[in-house]
Amino acid sequence: MGPHPQDHPRQHAGSETIGIAAQLYQACSELLDSATSSLKQSTVLSKLERRAFVRIRQSLFLWGRSHNAAGAQLDLLLQESRPIQQVVVRALKLILKRVAYGMLFLCIFFAVAYPTFAQNCYLSS
Amino acid sequence: MYFLCSCLSYFCSELLPQLLAPQIIGTAIDREHITRLVEQSKFSNRDPDDEQDGSSSSGSDSSDNDKETPSIQQVFARLRNDIRCLTDMSSLIDSLALELEKKESITPVLTISDILPHQYYSNCIRERFPEAPVELIDYFGKVTFERYQKLLQQRLHIEQQQEGLEVLEVTSSKKDDSGYGSLPTTSSYAPTLASSAVSSLAEGMRSKYPPLPDGASEGKPFECLACGRQIRASHKHEWR
Protein backbone atom coordinates (compact mmCIF):
# COMPACT_ATOMS: atom_id res chain seq x y z
CA MET A 1 0.00 0.00 0.00
CA GLY A 2 1.22 3.48 -0.73
CA PRO A 3 1.33 6.12 -3.38
CA HIS A 4 1.97 4.80 -6.81
CA PRO A 5 4.73 6.50 -8.74
CA GLN A 6 2.26 7.32 -11.48
CA ASP A 7 0.32 9.48 -9.02
CA HIS A 8 3.03 12.09 -9.28
CA PRO A 9 2.70 13.69 -12.67
CA ARG A 10 6.08 14.36 -14.16
CA GLN A 11 5.69 17.67 -15.87
CA HIS A 12 9.22 18.52 -16.82
CA ALA A 13 8.08 19.56 -20.26
CA GLY A 14 5.56 22.04 -18.90
CA SER A 15 7.47 23.04 -15.80
CA GLU A 16 7.49 26.65 -16.97
CA THR A 17 3.75 26.85 -16.44
CA ILE A 18 3.78 25.73 -12.80
CA GLY A 19 5.18 27.57 -9.82
CA ILE A 20 8.20 27.03 -7.65
CA ALA A 21 6.31 25.14 -4.94
CA ALA A 22 4.95 22.64 -7.45
CA GLN A 23 8.36 22.13 -8.99
CA LEU A 24 9.97 21.56 -5.60
CA TYR A 25 7.24 19.13 -4.61
CA GLN A 26 7.61 17.19 -7.85
CA ALA A 27 11.38 17.01 -7.40
CA CYS A 28 10.98 15.72 -3.84
CA SER A 29 8.41 13.15 -4.94
CA GLU A 30 10.53 11.89 -7.80
CA LEU A 31 13.60 11.58 -5.61
CA LEU A 32 11.67 9.72 -2.94
CA ASP A 33 10.09 7.46 -5.56
CA SER A 34 13.39 6.52 -7.12
CA ALA A 35 14.95 6.00 -3.69
CA THR A 36 12.07 3.79 -2.63
CA SER A 37 12.25 1.67 -5.73
CA SER A 38 16.02 1.29 -5.30
CA LEU A 39 15.84 0.46 -1.63
CA LYS A 40 12.99 -1.98 -2.08
CA GLN A 41 15.22 -4.52 -3.77
CA SER A 42 18.13 -4.11 -1.39
CA THR A 43 18.78 -5.53 2.04
CA VAL A 44 21.16 -2.84 3.22
CA LEU A 45 18.42 -1.13 5.23
CA SER A 46 16.54 -2.95 7.91
CA LYS A 47 12.84 -3.59 7.53
CA LEU A 48 12.08 -0.95 10.14
CA GLU A 49 14.13 1.67 8.30
CA ARG A 50 12.52 0.84 4.99
CA ARG A 51 9.11 1.17 6.57
CA ALA A 52 10.07 4.54 8.04
CA PHE A 53 11.23 5.72 4.65
CA VAL A 54 8.00 4.61 2.96
CA ARG A 55 6.03 6.35 5.68
CA ILE A 56 7.88 9.59 4.98
CA ARG A 57 7.08 9.27 1.31
CA GLN A 58 3.43 8.58 2.07
CA SER A 59 3.20 11.62 4.37
CA LEU A 60 4.55 13.91 1.69
CA PHE A 61 2.29 12.35 -0.90
CA LEU A 62 -0.81 12.85 1.27
CA TRP A 63 0.11 16.46 1.96
CA GLY A 64 0.65 17.12 -1.74
CA ARG A 65 -2.55 15.40 -2.70
CA SER A 66 -4.65 17.35 -0.22
CA HIS A 67 -3.40 20.65 -1.67
CA ASN A 68 -2.92 19.54 -5.29
CA ALA A 69 0.73 20.49 -4.94
CA ALA A 70 1.80 18.83 -8.18
CA GLY A 71 -0.48 21.10 -10.19
CA ALA A 72 -0.85 24.83 -10.28
CA GLN A 73 -3.43 25.00 -7.48
CA LEU A 74 -0.97 25.30 -4.59
CA ASP A 75 1.03 28.11 -6.16
CA LEU A 76 -2.18 29.90 -7.02
CA LEU A 77 -3.22 29.80 -3.36
CA LEU A 78 0.21 30.80 -2.10
CA GLN A 79 0.12 33.93 -4.20
CA GLU A 80 -2.49 35.24 -1.78
CA SER A 81 -0.03 35.41 1.09
CA ARG A 82 3.64 36.13 0.66
CA PRO A 83 4.72 34.98 4.18
CA ILE A 84 2.96 31.62 3.88
CA GLN A 85 4.43 31.17 0.42
CA GLN A 86 7.92 31.78 1.77
CA VAL A 87 7.47 29.31 4.60
CA VAL A 88 6.06 26.57 2.36
CA VAL A 89 8.74 27.03 -0.28
CA ARG A 90 11.43 27.05 2.38
CA ALA A 91 10.11 23.84 3.91
CA LEU A 92 9.93 22.12 0.52
CA LYS A 93 13.42 23.31 -0.30
CA LEU A 94 14.68 21.91 2.98
CA ILE A 95 13.03 18.56 2.31
CA LEU A 96 14.56 18.43 -1.16
CA LYS A 97 17.96 19.25 0.25
CA ARG A 98 17.69 16.60 2.92
CA VAL A 99 16.47 13.96 0.48
CA ALA A 100 19.18 14.81 -2.02
CA TYR A 101 21.96 14.85 0.58
CA GLY A 102 20.57 11.75 2.23
CA MET A 103 20.55 9.90 -1.05
CA LEU A 104 24.00 11.18 -1.85
CA PHE A 105 25.20 9.95 1.52
CA LEU A 106 23.56 6.60 0.95
CA CYS A 107 25.04 6.29 -2.53
CA ILE A 108 28.54 7.10 -1.31
CA PHE A 109 28.16 4.79 1.65
CA PHE A 110 26.79 1.97 -0.44
CA ALA A 111 29.29 2.56 -3.22
CA VAL A 112 32.05 1.84 -0.72
CA ALA A 113 30.33 -0.89 1.20
CA TYR A 114 28.20 -2.40 -1.55
CA PRO A 115 29.61 -1.60 -4.98
CA THR A 116 27.20 -3.89 -6.81
CA PHE A 117 24.20 -2.15 -5.24
CA ALA A 118 25.46 1.27 -6.33
CA GLN A 119 25.98 -0.06 -9.80
CA ASN A 120 22.42 -1.37 -9.87
CA CYS A 121 21.12 2.00 -8.71
CA TYR A 122 23.00 3.75 -11.48
CA LEU A 123 21.73 1.30 -14.09
CA SER A 124 18.12 1.50 -12.89
CA SER A 125 18.15 5.30 -13.05
CA MET B 1 2.10 23.28 17.46
CA TYR B 2 5.17 21.49 16.26
CA PHE B 3 5.83 24.11 13.63
CA LEU B 4 5.61 26.88 16.21
CA CYS B 5 7.96 25.08 18.61
CA SER B 6 10.45 24.51 15.80
CA CYS B 7 10.45 28.16 14.80
CA LEU B 8 10.81 29.40 18.39
CA SER B 9 13.49 26.87 19.16
CA TYR B 10 15.42 27.89 16.08
CA PHE B 11 15.05 31.53 17.03
CA CYS B 12 16.32 30.94 20.57
CA SER B 13 19.20 28.68 19.69
CA GLU B 14 20.48 30.39 16.56
CA LEU B 15 19.46 34.00 16.42
CA LEU B 16 19.71 35.16 20.02
CA PRO B 17 23.39 34.25 20.59
CA GLN B 18 24.33 35.80 17.27
CA LEU B 19 22.42 39.01 17.73
CA LEU B 20 23.30 39.63 21.34
CA ALA B 21 26.81 39.85 22.66
CA PRO B 22 27.73 37.48 25.53
CA GLN B 23 28.13 40.30 28.02
CA ILE B 24 24.66 41.62 27.21
CA ILE B 25 23.19 38.20 27.58
CA GLY B 26 24.99 37.78 30.83
CA THR B 27 23.66 40.99 32.32
CA ALA B 28 20.22 41.53 30.89
CA ILE B 29 19.04 37.99 30.25
CA ASP B 30 19.64 34.85 32.16
CA ARG B 31 21.80 32.79 29.83
CA GLU B 32 21.14 29.57 31.69
CA HIS B 33 17.44 30.18 31.44
CA ILE B 34 17.68 30.50 27.65
CA THR B 35 19.78 27.35 27.41
CA ARG B 36 17.27 25.47 29.52
CA LEU B 37 14.40 26.66 27.34
CA VAL B 38 16.23 25.55 24.20
CA GLU B 39 16.79 22.11 25.68
CA GLN B 40 13.13 21.89 26.62
CA SER B 41 12.09 22.86 23.12
CA LYS B 42 14.33 20.14 21.73
CA PHE B 43 12.60 17.67 23.99
CA SER B 44 9.17 18.84 22.84
CA ASN B 45 10.22 18.58 19.19
CA ARG B 46 11.45 15.07 19.60
CA ASP B 47 9.78 12.64 17.31
CA PRO B 48 7.76 10.02 19.19
CA ASP B 49 8.54 7.46 16.46
CA ASP B 50 12.21 7.70 17.35
CA GLU B 51 11.49 6.85 20.95
CA GLN B 52 9.39 3.91 19.85
CA ASP B 53 12.09 2.69 17.52
CA GLY B 54 14.67 3.07 20.23
CA SER B 55 16.94 5.20 18.15
CA SER B 56 18.59 8.29 19.53
CA SER B 57 16.85 11.50 18.56
CA SER B 58 19.50 13.88 19.74
CA GLY B 59 20.20 14.85 16.16
CA SER B 60 16.60 15.30 15.11
CA ASP B 61 16.63 19.03 15.58
CA SER B 62 17.52 21.14 12.62
CA SER B 63 19.72 23.33 14.78
CA ASP B 64 22.25 20.60 15.29
CA ASN B 65 25.57 20.79 13.70
CA ASP B 66 25.14 19.93 10.03
CA LYS B 67 28.83 19.44 9.51
CA GLU B 68 28.65 16.09 11.28
CA THR B 69 27.71 13.23 9.03
CA PRO B 70 24.15 12.30 9.98
CA SER B 71 23.07 8.74 10.32
CA ILE B 72 20.21 7.39 8.27
CA GLN B 73 17.92 7.59 11.31
CA GLN B 74 18.78 11.24 11.75
CA VAL B 75 18.01 11.94 8.10
CA PHE B 76 14.67 10.21 8.46
CA ALA B 77 13.85 12.09 11.64
CA ARG B 78 14.62 15.45 10.03
CA LEU B 79 12.55 14.58 6.99
CA ARG B 80 9.65 13.61 9.22
CA ASN B 81 9.91 16.91 11.07
CA ASP B 82 9.96 18.91 7.85
CA ILE B 83 6.92 17.13 6.49
CA ARG B 84 5.18 17.65 9.82
CA CYS B 85 5.83 21.37 9.45
CA LEU B 86 4.10 21.27 6.07
CA THR B 87 1.19 19.32 7.52
CA ASP B 88 0.81 21.83 10.33
CA MET B 89 0.47 24.57 7.76
CA SER B 90 -2.38 22.82 5.96
CA SER B 91 -4.98 24.84 7.82
CA LEU B 92 -3.27 28.06 6.76
CA ILE B 93 -3.30 26.96 3.14
CA ASP B 94 -6.96 25.98 3.46
CA SER B 95 -7.74 29.41 4.85
CA LEU B 96 -6.08 30.90 1.77
CA ALA B 97 -8.38 28.82 -0.39
CA LEU B 98 -11.39 30.11 1.53
CA GLU B 99 -10.23 33.69 1.12
CA LEU B 100 -9.78 33.15 -2.60
CA GLU B 101 -13.29 31.71 -2.92
CA LYS B 102 -14.71 34.62 -0.97
CA LYS B 103 -12.88 37.07 -3.21
CA GLU B 104 -14.25 35.40 -6.32
CA SER B 105 -17.80 35.32 -4.99
CA ILE B 106 -17.94 39.09 -4.43
CA THR B 107 -19.72 40.65 -7.39
CA PRO B 108 -18.16 43.82 -8.77
CA VAL B 109 -19.96 47.08 -8.05
CA LEU B 110 -21.79 48.44 -11.05
CA THR B 111 -20.67 51.84 -12.26
CA ILE B 112 -22.88 54.39 -13.91
CA SER B 113 -21.56 53.46 -17.33
CA ASP B 114 -22.50 49.81 -16.75
CA ILE B 115 -26.15 50.55 -16.03
CA LEU B 116 -28.23 49.93 -19.13
CA PRO B 117 -31.53 51.67 -19.94
CA HIS B 118 -33.60 48.60 -19.13
CA GLN B 119 -31.85 48.06 -15.79
CA TYR B 120 -34.73 49.52 -13.81
CA TYR B 121 -37.20 47.02 -15.22
CA SER B 122 -34.73 44.16 -14.78
CA ASN B 123 -34.24 45.12 -11.15
CA CYS B 124 -37.98 45.20 -10.58
CA ILE B 125 -38.34 41.72 -12.06
CA ARG B 126 -35.37 40.44 -10.06
CA GLU B 127 -36.86 41.71 -6.82
CA ARG B 128 -40.05 39.84 -7.49
CA PHE B 129 -38.42 36.68 -8.88
CA PRO B 130 -34.99 36.48 -7.24
CA GLU B 131 -34.32 32.89 -8.33
CA ALA B 132 -35.05 33.47 -12.00
CA PRO B 133 -32.17 33.14 -14.47
CA VAL B 134 -30.26 36.33 -15.12
CA GLU B 135 -30.58 36.01 -18.90
CA LEU B 136 -34.36 35.69 -18.68
CA ILE B 137 -34.64 38.68 -16.36
CA ASP B 138 -32.46 40.70 -18.68
CA TYR B 139 -34.59 39.71 -21.66
CA PHE B 140 -37.85 40.62 -19.94
CA GLY B 141 -36.34 43.91 -18.81
CA LYS B 142 -35.40 44.74 -22.38
CA VAL B 143 -38.82 43.77 -23.70
CA THR B 144 -40.58 45.83 -21.06
CA PHE B 145 -38.39 48.82 -21.79
CA GLU B 146 -39.08 48.52 -25.53
CA ARG B 147 -42.79 48.29 -24.83
CA TYR B 148 -42.63 51.38 -22.68
CA GLN B 149 -40.83 53.26 -25.45
CA LYS B 150 -43.34 52.08 -28.01
CA LEU B 151 -46.22 53.28 -25.88
CA LEU B 152 -44.48 56.58 -25.32
CA GLN B 153 -44.03 57.12 -29.04
CA GLN B 154 -47.62 56.16 -29.66
CA ARG B 155 -48.75 58.62 -27.06
CA LEU B 156 -46.73 61.44 -28.57
CA HIS B 157 -47.94 60.57 -32.02
CA ILE B 158 -51.56 60.71 -30.93
CA GLU B 159 -51.04 63.98 -29.13
CA GLN B 160 -49.58 65.53 -32.25
CA GLN B 161 -52.16 64.23 -34.70
CA GLN B 162 -55.34 64.54 -32.77
CA GLU B 163 -56.25 68.06 -31.96
CA GLY B 164 -59.74 67.33 -30.98
CA LEU B 165 -60.87 64.73 -28.64
CA GLU B 166 -61.58 61.39 -30.16
CA VAL B 167 -63.49 59.50 -27.66
CA LEU B 168 -63.15 55.80 -27.93
CA GLU B 169 -65.95 53.71 -26.75
CA VAL B 170 -64.18 51.09 -24.81
CA THR B 171 -67.00 49.53 -22.96
CA SER B 172 -69.83 49.74 -25.45
CA SER B 173 -67.90 48.69 -28.56
CA LYS B 174 -69.64 45.79 -30.19
CA LYS B 175 -68.58 43.91 -33.24
CA ASP B 176 -70.48 41.57 -35.42
CA ASP B 177 -69.26 38.12 -34.76
CA SER B 178 -70.54 34.59 -34.77
CA GLY B 179 -71.16 34.65 -31.08
CA TYR B 180 -69.02 31.66 -30.22
CA GLY B 181 -66.24 33.72 -28.74
CA SER B 182 -68.43 36.19 -26.96
CA LEU B 183 -70.53 33.84 -24.91
CA PRO B 184 -70.97 35.00 -21.33
CA THR B 185 -68.66 33.29 -18.90
CA THR B 186 -69.54 32.13 -15.44
CA SER B 187 -67.80 35.12 -13.91
CA SER B 188 -68.32 38.70 -14.85
CA TYR B 189 -64.57 39.28 -14.63
CA ALA B 190 -62.00 37.95 -17.03
CA PRO B 191 -60.01 34.95 -15.68
CA THR B 192 -56.74 36.82 -15.89
CA LEU B 193 -58.20 39.77 -14.05
CA ALA B 194 -59.73 37.54 -11.43
CA SER B 195 -56.52 35.64 -10.94
CA SER B 196 -54.50 38.80 -10.70
CA ALA B 197 -56.94 40.24 -8.21
CA VAL B 198 -56.80 37.07 -6.14
CA SER B 199 -53.03 36.96 -6.27
CA SER B 200 -52.88 40.61 -5.28
CA LEU B 201 -55.11 39.94 -2.33
CA ALA B 202 -53.05 36.89 -1.40
CA GLU B 203 -49.89 38.92 -1.41
CA GLY B 204 -51.49 41.59 0.71
CA MET B 205 -51.02 44.22 -1.94
CA ARG B 206 -53.29 46.67 -3.57
CA SER B 207 -54.64 46.30 -7.08
CA LYS B 208 -52.13 46.53 -9.89
CA TYR B 209 -54.36 48.90 -11.83
CA PRO B 210 -54.26 52.57 -10.95
CA PRO B 211 -57.40 54.14 -9.57
CA LEU B 212 -59.81 55.77 -11.97
CA PRO B 213 -59.71 59.55 -12.10
CA ASP B 214 -62.53 61.65 -10.74
CA GLY B 215 -65.61 61.59 -12.90
CA ALA B 216 -64.63 58.44 -14.78
CA SER B 217 -67.20 56.36 -12.94
CA GLU B 218 -69.87 58.78 -14.17
CA GLY B 219 -68.92 58.11 -17.79
CA LYS B 220 -66.66 61.09 -18.46
CA PRO B 221 -63.73 60.50 -20.83
CA PHE B 222 -60.18 60.67 -19.50
CA GLU B 223 -56.67 60.25 -20.78
CA CYS B 224 -55.16 56.77 -20.51
CA LEU B 225 -51.88 56.75 -18.59
CA ALA B 226 -50.39 54.08 -20.86
CA CYS B 227 -51.35 55.01 -24.42
CA GLY B 228 -52.44 58.60 -23.99
CA ARG B 229 -55.77 58.13 -25.76
CA GLN B 230 -59.01 59.54 -24.51
CA ILE B 231 -61.04 56.65 -23.25
CA ARG B 232 -64.14 56.11 -21.23
CA ALA B 233 -64.28 53.44 -18.54
CA SER B 234 -66.54 53.34 -15.55
CA HIS B 235 -64.94 50.30 -13.85
CA LYS B 236 -61.39 49.22 -13.24
CA HIS B 237 -61.72 45.93 -15.09
CA GLU B 238 -62.71 47.81 -18.25
CA TRP B 239 -59.54 49.84 -18.15
CA ARG B 240 -57.05 47.37 -19.53
Compare all CA atoms of chain B with the CA of A80 and give the residue at the minimum distance.
B96
Total structural domains within chain A = 1
pLDDT on residue B144: 92
Which residue among A49, A77, A105 places its CB closest to the CB of B97? A77
- Asked if residue A20 is part of any domain, the answer here is yes
**A54 CB-near residues (< 8 Å, 6+ apart):** A2, A36
Local structure of residue B107 (DSSP, 8 states): P
Residue B76 near chain A (CB below 8 Å)? yes
- For the ranges A31-45, A106-120, B59-73, which has the lowest average pLDDT? B59-73
Rounded to two decimals, what is the model's pTM? 0.46
Q: Do B93 and A45 touch (CB under 8 A)?
A: no
pLDDT on residue B217: 81
For residues A93 and A87, what is the distance between their CA atoms, to the nearest angstrom? 10
* A58-102 pLDDT tens trace: 999 999 999 888 888 888 888 888 899 999 999 999 898 888 877
Residue B10 near chain A (CB below 8 Å)? no
Region B139-153 average pLDDT: 91
Region A23-48 average pLDDT: 81
Residue A66 near chain B (CB below 8 Å)? yes
- Asked if residue A1 is part of any domain, the answer here is no
- Asked if residue A3 is part of any domain, the answer here is no
Query: Which residues of chain B are within 8 Å of residue A91 when distances are taken between CB atoms?
Result: 82, 85-86, 89
- Asked if residue A87 is part of any domain, the answer here is yes
CA distances from A29 to A17, A19, A106 (A): 18, 16, 18
Look up the domain containing A86 and give its range: 11-124
Q: Tell me the ipTM for this assembly.
A: 0.72
| Pairing relationship of beta strands B222-223 and B230-232 according to DSSP bridges | antiparallel
- Asked if residue A4 is part of any domain, the answer here is no
Query: Which residues of chain A are within 8 Å of residue B90 when distances are taken between CB atoms?
Result: 63, 66-67
Q: Where are the domains of chain B?
A: 2-90, 112-161, 163-172+205-240
